Amino acid sequence: MHHPIDPKIDCVFKALLGAETNRALLIHFLNAILGPDLPAPITWVEILNPYNDK
């Protein structure tokens, strides 16, 4: 099924993988991409505020 929102667009990617509610999705994504290079699977990530308050 084709979804009308492209996840490769930076703001969509950030919304998907940068939200606290999608922490499990981010962990799964990182393990899928980095898996062979990791000594152990990632089990927890800390999502930081990406905005620079000035």
Report which of residues 47 and 8 the model is more confident about: 47
For residue 37, being part of any structural domain is answered with: yes
Q: Residue 27 sits in which domain range?
A: 1-48
Residue with tokens 């990530």: 45
* Torsion, Cα of 6, 50, 33, 44 (10° steps): -120
For residue 54, being part of any structural domain is answered with: no
For residue 15, being part of any structural domain is answered with: yes
For residue 39, being part of any structural domain is answered with: yes
CA–CA distance, 53 with 33 (Å, rounded to integer): 31
Amino acid type, 31: N
Angle 23-34/10-17 helices, nearest 10 degrees?
110
pLDDT digits (tens, 9 = 90+) for 3-30: 788 877 878 888 888 889 999 999 999 9
Write down the pLDDT at residue 5.
Answer: 80
pTM of the model: 0.75
For residue 38, being part of any structural domain is answered with: yes
Give me the number of domains the chain comprises: 1
For residue 53, being part of any structural domain is answered with: no
Show the tokens assigned to 4: 């009308």
For residue 29, being part of any structural domain is answered with: yes
